[in-house]
Amino acid sequence: DIQMTQSPSSLSASVGDRVTITCRASQSISSYLNWYQQKPGKAPKLLIYAASSLQSGVPSRFSGSGSGTDFTLTISSLQPEDFATYYCQQSYSLYTFGQGTKLEIK
């Protein structure tokens, strides 16, 4: 099974900050990597698919990069509505999610 490890597990930041979340796969997964945002009591929402493609309707301050085993999600300027938990997911071999990164207000 492919394991996905996110870092950090939690992060405190301020509105306007630039934030980067990292996801590492236990083996190469090419660009089979997606990012989701989840707010408390809500279903996950797709942000980025295929490592770097922005889902329709998602603000351009979100971006994704990486290939192989190392990936990043970047939020260029944090907005109040961005405080949530973020998950990466591999779709190279079945589907596995990272453990999540909780982004909190500093």
Partner 1 sequence: QVQLVQSGAEVKKPGASVKVSCKASGYTFTSYYMHWVRQAPGQGLEWMGIINPSGGSTSYAQKFQGRVTMTRDTSTSTVYMELSSLRSEDTAVYYCARGSLTTRLGTPLHYFDYWGQGTLVTVSS
Task: Name the minimum Å distance from CB 14 to partner 1.
Answer: 25
Structure tokens at 45: 């929402």
Task: Name the minimum Å distance from CB 26 to partner 1.
Answer: 16
Alpha carbon distance 51, 73 (integer Å): 9
Measured from the CB atom, is 78 or 85 closer to partner 1?
85
- What does the binding site for partner 1 look like in residue numbers (CB under 8 A)? 30-32, 34, 36, 38, 43-46, 49-50, 53, 55, 87, 89, 91, 94-100
For residues 47 and 92, is the Cβ–Cβ distance under 8 A? Answer: no
Measured from the CB atom, is 2 or 13 closer to partner 1?
2
Calculate the alpha carbon distances from 17 to 1, 11, 105 in Å. 35, 12, 11
Measured from the CB atom, is 75 or 88 closer to partner 1?
88
Task: Name the minimum Å distance from CB 97 to partner 1.
Answer: 4
Measured from the CB atom, is 17 or 99 closer to partner 1?
99
Calculate the alpha carbon distances from 58 to 29, 36, 53, 79 in Å. 24, 11, 10, 13
